[in-house]
Amino acid sequence: IIPTITLDGIIAYDIVEGPVNMEQFLRFLKEVMPFTNPYPGPCSVLIMDNCCIHHGEDIHCLVE
């Protein structure tokens, strides 16, 4: 499960069978980014752990 959670609850999720790869994670981020705002607005902070799929250049460019 890849969730997007705010203080108000879950706004999006994807259920993936098996491990999630960088391509799947990037696709999910592209779907949820329209629901985010520039910092310091509401829904403006993205927290990811140190998983290797979070470190791709495409992902960095999308969330920057």
The C-alpha angle with vertex 1 and arms to 24 and 12, in degrees rounded to 5, equals 80
Q: What was the pLDDT predicted at 35?
A: 87
Distance CA 7, CA 64 (A): 22
Radius of gyration of the chain (CA): 12
For residue range 1-53, what is the model confidence (pLDDT) as tens digits? 999 998 888 989 999 999 999 999 999 999 999 988 889 998 888 899 999 99
Query: Phi and psi of 14, rounded to 5°?
Result: -135, 140
pTM, two decimals, is 0.84
For residue range 11-24, what is the model confidence (pLDDT) as tens digits? 899 999 999 999 99
Residue-range domain boundaries for the chain: 2-63
Q: What was the pLDDT predicted at 11?
A: 87
